[in-house]
Structure 1
Amino acid sequence: MAARAFSRSKAPIFTSILLQNLTKKLTTETPFRPKPKTLLLDLTFCKPISGFRQYHDGRPRGPLWRGKKLIGKEALFVILALKRFKDDEEKLQKIIKSHVLRLLKMDMIAVLSELERQEETFLAVKVFEVIQKQDWYKPDVYLYKDLILALAKSRKMDEAMKLWESMKKENLFPDSQTYTEVIRGFLRDGSPADAMNIYEDMIKSPDPPEELPFRILLKGLLPHPLLRNKVKKDFEQIFPEKHAYDPPEEIFGRF
């Protein structure tokens, strides 16, 4: 029994010695030793096929809304909860107090941006009002701009003008894109007088006006020749090298 146990214990030692001797003979007998480069080339079959991953890198699969991967889980939950209870004012206020107020600054802004993108303007205004009450809030023209553009796109011009006035109280000035979209919104709603009020505000703005809002006004004011002539005259003075197109008289009559 002792001999058997000894032979079993010695077997691994003898096999390892045998393998070492064999490898030594092979290396000494072969005149050309394999270079490391050839070994690396032999292992190329282990590389994954291009376009396919052999592991899950944590990124979500399937169609996603834009920027979803930049939004945290808590912010996503808040968006879903707000959309679920948007028709119930009492429950909506509970969600705002219990969840929206707990969000960090970047998550709160991400929720606002996503609601604007989904055209949930009612909820976006609610979240913006919460943001304005935070200690870290500073007047930001881009926060106003994105929300005003979303409201104008949704044809909610009354709410857009409330934000417009609030922006002015914070000594912020709209840019050319904001002027353009608000003017377009009023013309779309058949309110040329309101569009002209925004136009007068644009002319008085410290930033020089751009060409696009003039073009939109000149097109939208075709049924109102007196207003159009005023805009055309200003356009020719500010942009003397540009040409204001007049439609044929037989279609729109004489201006």
Structure 2
Amino acid sequence: MEASLSLPFRSVRPRLHRAPATTSFVTCGLRNSTRRPLWRSDVLSTEAIRAVQSLKLAKSTPRLNHVLSTTLARLLKSDLLNTFAELKRQNEVDLALKVFEYVCKEEWYGTDFALRCDVIQLLGKNKMVALAEVVFSGLLKEGVELDARAYAEMIGAYLSADMIENAMQTYEKMKAAGCTPNEFTLMILIRNLEKAGEKDLVEFVKRDCVEYLDSPKKFLEEVERKYPKRRSFDLV
């Protein structure tokens, strides 16, 4: 059964999340234009580990909803969010989404921008584009001004499903909204459009590199060095 999301959209004061163009080259850290939240830790607590194990054991059983409510209710905020992060890391999509829904209903939850971007990334990785659109549009409904990462994750979700027209439309909306494309956004567009044989669109995006990046030549050389055309590029 296909996963679904039920999110309580909230009206919040618009927040600016724009990342200026930089001169750094393509690295694994380019995705994280949104600052890493303080609650994230590379070391899981015992409580978070037990929560992940309990949820995985109860997966696909009638006990899952009971385990979700009883297990998550005992967790501190940091452990709850780290439980989501670990399930995402293990690509436990259904469980991660259930934890995300639980988080959204907590009284302390406002709009965790980085968390929403993580969810879009997870959904895009698994080609669950319709749900990624729900989360993305939810940010807009809540009055959040999106940053480059949010747009890039949605663009990436479309590209993972070979929805090139949708990806380019989102890219144009990004620019129209005054959000400057960063290197990660431009990189995933160039590499995936090249893989799809969209030469004209590749040249279009490369021209944008000249407009939006301080060192476009070095950036394009670095992209070509890291991801030569003969190799396939894994989006997420």
Aligned mates of 1:107, 1:217 — CA distance in 2:
35
Q: Among residues 167, 171, 179, which one is paired with 2:151 in the alignment?
A: 179
Q: Which amino acid aligns with 1:189?
A: A
- The reply on whether 1:71 has 2:49 as its aligned counterpart is no
**Identical pairs, percent:** 30
1:210 to 165, 182, 187: 182
Gaps of 5+ in 2: 1-40, 230-236
Which residue number corresponds to residue 97 of structure 1?
A: 69
Deviation sequence 1:20-42 (CA, Å, 0-9, x none): xxxxxxxxxxxxxxxxxxxxxxx
- Given that 2:87 and 2:96 are in contact with CA atoms closer than 8 Å, whether structure 1 keeps it comes out as yes
TM-score computed with the length of structure 1 as normaliser:
0.59
Structure having greater relative contact order (Cα 8 Å, sep ≥ 6): 2
Pairing of 1:1-255 with structure 2 (within 5 A): 67-68=42-43, 70-73=44-47, 75-88=48-61, 90-222=62-194, 223-239=197-213, 242-243=216-217
CA RMSD of aligned residues (A): 2.9
Distance 2:125 2:93 in 1: 10
Deviation at 1:232, TM superposition (A): 4.3
Residue 163 (structure 1) shift: 1.4
Distance 1:140 1:193, change over 3 A: same
Task: Write the distance in 1 (CA, Å) between the matches of 2:54 and 2:214.
Answer: 54
Amino acid at match of 2:115: L
SS in 2 for 1:221: helix
CA contact (8 A) 2:190 2:205 kept: yes
**In structure 2, what residue type is equivalent to 1:224?**
E
C-alpha change, 1:219 and 1:172, in structure 2 (3 Å) is same
CA distance in 2, matches of 1:175, 1:86: 34
CA–CA distance in 2 between the matches of 1:204 and 1:86? 43
Q: TM-score, normalised by structure 2?
A: 0.63
Give the aligned partner of residue 3 of structure 1.
none
Q: Partner of 1:51 in structure 2?
A: none
Rg larger for: 1
Task: Describe the superposition over 1:80-119 as per-residue Cα deviations: whole angstroms up to 9, x where unpaired.
Answer: 121122213x421111222222322222112111111211
Paired amino acid for 2:166: D
Tell me, which stretches of 5 or more residues in structure 1 are unaligned?
1-65
How many residue pairs match? The answer is: 179
